[in-house]
Structure 1
Amino acid sequence: MRMKVDLGIVLVVFAVLCGRAAASVGDRLPEFRDCVSRCVASVCETSPQLPLYLTVFAWTCPQNCDYECQRTITAERIAANKEVVQFHGKWPFKRFLGIQEPASVIFSMLNFVPHYRTYKYFTSPLSPPIDDVHAGFYMKKYYVLVTIVGMNAWVWSSVFHCRDFKLTERLDYFSAGITVMTGFYFAVVRVFRLDRPAKKPLRRLLTIACVLSVLSHISYLSFVRFSYTYNMAANVVVGLLQNALWIYFSIKTYFFSEKRETRALVPLFNVLLLSAAMSLELFDFSPFLDTIDAHSLWHAATVLPSFWYYDWMKADAAHETGVKLKL
């Protein structure tokens, strides 16, 4: 039943996102088009030079006209008590020093922190001996893999929200897809203990399957057809499988063990928190203070769960190996 509810939430969010991508009420407004045309004719054809802080972020004069007209039309609509509309499928955010979506950039950078912090922890020469031969626990390299993939994803999320180009969009989407698949890979390895030497054949098969799936996914989107629908559906399916594994892990570890420890429920709580964070997209609204929208709040809501998730990793390693870790 929980899976059905999660799937329902995801599908509704997906529908909302598709609506956002297709909705371009603002850029179809006659007054907006007229504003852009006049700006390009009067400014770009006479003095197209832009300030350095804009050229650094690759703004062109026509693009700047588009932005300025978005802000002008939005101000006029607010003064006339009309609703704020989207332009090119996006809200008319107020940029900061050339950055298109400053709130999403800040929250993406904050999401980078727990991944980097944990990466440094596990790769430090002073890191506790997590891979313990006697305990048969060989998860350290998988912890490091998750942190590296996570850091990459949030870097490109920051870049994409700085400037929305085809290249930055693809890098953001592909990195997110790799992150989802890596999360699934890590969940399978941890839940079924494929880190053990005896299970190397199964681990190798899983690795090949995940790598080929990612390469096929990116190749299709890059060389055949870039489909937002297919990309979202693929990530949803893999994400739900990952969630199901962590729910299974928590229930099995907590309810079917001699000593019930709340530590075992952390993956379950993490799944619930991230599902709740994703549901923020359901409450799409025009930006508060021209900067903070539902999507940026979604990014903000994933920061603390990431810290808690990595703290659970450390606690999990400590429990399995008997090594005292500094949490």
Structure 2
Amino acid sequence: MVQTEILLFLSLFSYGLCSEGDRSPYYQNCLRECVKNRCTSGVVKKATKDIPPIPALWSCGDNCRYYCMFDTVDRFEERGFQIPKFHGKWPIRRVFGIQEPASVFGSILNLVANAYMYSKMRSKFPVRTMPVVLFWHAFAWICMNAWVWSIVFHTRDVYFTEFMDYAGALSMVMSLFVAAVIRAFYRAKKLVTVIILATLLYYAEHVRYLYSGRIDYDYNMHVNLFFGVVGSLIWILWAGREWAAGRRHAWWLLAFTALSAAALTLEVFDFPPKYYAWDAHALWHLSTAPLPLLFYRFVIDDLNYIRTSSSIEKSNIKLP
């Protein structure tokens, strides 16, 4: 969803980075022998229970890497060593050819939560209700698009799906930043316009840079961190002021921000996957799924407040 902090720490390592597991001589020998004996032009010579042919998602070389990864994990565990990472990632068991099924499940829950709350918002506030409503409709679609690409990326990690996942995640962080600016400074229309245009231009340039070659993970993290932290500070300060003024619907926003920060700790405390499925990243996705219920509840209540306030202001206008 639109989580501020929870999208700050995306995966910092690509599948191509070296880790203890893929550096081990056992893994390297296993991979070399597997490719030599079982692969010809990317096609499995002989299907086995260890390397099932799944040509739609996985080449023979991919299947060899998967087989040798878990063969190496078995050797590490036999010797009492900790489960190693491979190419920057923990070993995860595939399910029906899906690379990270638990993360896919968590992403689906986030998508469903966003879609459900968007349907509630749309039923109460059609696009033409008020000018600001159009922004929230676009905002919801940005979030749903990002979660679709998260599902695709965790189903099969390749360069393009990784790029789309990163671009989608950043679009949510920046959209939440823009939303904070619009709501907190709506009276300063020129300032808001300048900030929105500058943010859109920067996003376009950042995405172009990400796709121009190897993804710069540190730079991408810092961009997410900047917009996420600044957006969160604006939301907290504004929501605190609204709460003090008696507008109790700001509580939903404060709760959303606090729980987002709590969910982020799962990304900080990395650990080997439970049952070769639930790593910290998958649990993070699972923990963020309820958060759209809080955020969109705030949006709906805030739009009700804006509509009511506008009606009162119009009724108090004295005709000449």
Aligned mate of 1:275, from 261, 266, 274 = 261
Matched residue of 1:139: which SS? helix
Q: Does 1:175 pair with 2:168?
A: yes
Aligned position for 1:3: none
Q: Secondary structure at the match of 1:320?
A: helix
Instruction: Give the Å deviation of 1:322.
Output: 3.4
Give the match for residue 86 of structure 2.
87
- Match of residue 229 from structure 2: 240
Matched residue, 2:31: 36
Who is 2:183 aligned against? 190
Residues 168-200 of structure 1 deviation map (CA, whole Å, 9 limit, x = unaligned)? 111111111111111111111112225xxxx55
Number of positions where the alignment pairs a residue of Structure 1 with one of Structure 2: 301
CA distance in 1, matches of 2:126, 2:156: 42
Query: 2:52, 2:63 within 8 Å by CA — same for their partners in 1?
Result: no
Q: CA separation of 1:47/1:211 partners in 2, compared to 1, >3 Å: closer, same or farther? A: closer
Question: Is 1:307 aligned to residue 293 of structure 2?
Answer: yes
State the Cα distance separating 1:260 from its structure 2 match. 5.4
Compute the TM-score of the two structures, normalised by the length of structure 1. 0.83
* 8 Å contact kept, 2:98–2:154: yes
- 1:90 to partner: Cα distance: 0.6
Determine the structure 1 residue equivalent to 2:56: 56
> Is the alpha carbon distance of 1:152 and 1:123 closer, same or farther for their aligned partners in structure 2, counting shifts above 3 Å?
same
- Structure with the bigger RCO (C-alpha within 8 Å, sep 6+) is 2
Confirm or deny: 8 A CA contact 1:53 1:97 kept in the other structure. no
- Output one character per residue of 1:255-306: Cα deviation in whole Å (capped at 9) or x when no partner: 2x1x352x22222221121111111112211110110000111111111111
Higher helix share: 1
Q: Residue 54 of structure 1: SS of its match in structure 2?
A: coil
**RMSD of aligned alpha carbons:** 2.9
Which amino acid is 2:110 matched to? N
In 2, Cα distance between equivalents of 1:315 and 1:98: 42
**TM-score normalized by structure 2?**
0.85
Shift, 1:162, TM fit: 0.7
**Offset, 1:155:** 0.6
2-side partners of 1:21 and 1:115: how far apart? 32
Alignment partners' CA distance in 1, 2:116 and 2:192:
27
SS where residue 253 of structure 1 aligns? Answer: helix
Q: Distance in 2 between matches of 1:314 and 1:47?
A: 54
Equivalent pair of 2:19/2:86 in contact (CA under 8 Å):
yes
1:66 is aligned to 65
The answer to whether the aligner puts 1:158 opposite 2:151 as a matched pair is yes
> For structure 2, which runs of at least 5 residues remain unmatched after alignment?
310-320
Cα distance in 1, alignment partners of residues 127 and 85 from structure 2: 50
Residues 44-87 of structure 1, C-alpha deviation per residue, up to 9 Å, x if partnerless? Answer: 14844769972222x10011000011111112222332210001
Letter in 2 for 1:212: L
- Superposed counterparts of 1:223-302, under 5 Å: 223=212, 226-255=215-244, 257=245, 259=246, 261=248, 263-302=249-288
Give, as a single letter, the amino acid of the residue that structure 2 aligns with 1:80. Answer: R
- CA 24–153 in structure 1, closer or farther in 2 if over 3 Å, else same: same
**What code does the residue aligned with 2:107 have?**
S
What code does the residue aligned with 2:204 have?
Answer: L
Cα-to-partner distance string for 1:5-62 (whole Å, 9 max, x where unaligned): x99x999x68x946998551100000001111111111114844769972222x1001
Matched with 2:318 is none
Kindly tell me: are residues 166 and 267 of structure 1, through their superposed partners in 2, closer, same or farther at Cα, counting changes over 3 Å?
A: same
Q: Which residue of 1 aligns with 2:202?
A: 213
Which residue identity does 2:170 align to in structure 1? G
Task: Determine helix, strand or coil for the equivalent of 1:322.
Answer: helix
Write the mapping of 1:61-140 to structure 2, written as runs, cut at 5 A: 61-124=60-123, 127-128=124-125, 138-140=131-133
**Residue pair 2:22, 2:87 contacting (<8 A) in 1 also:** yes
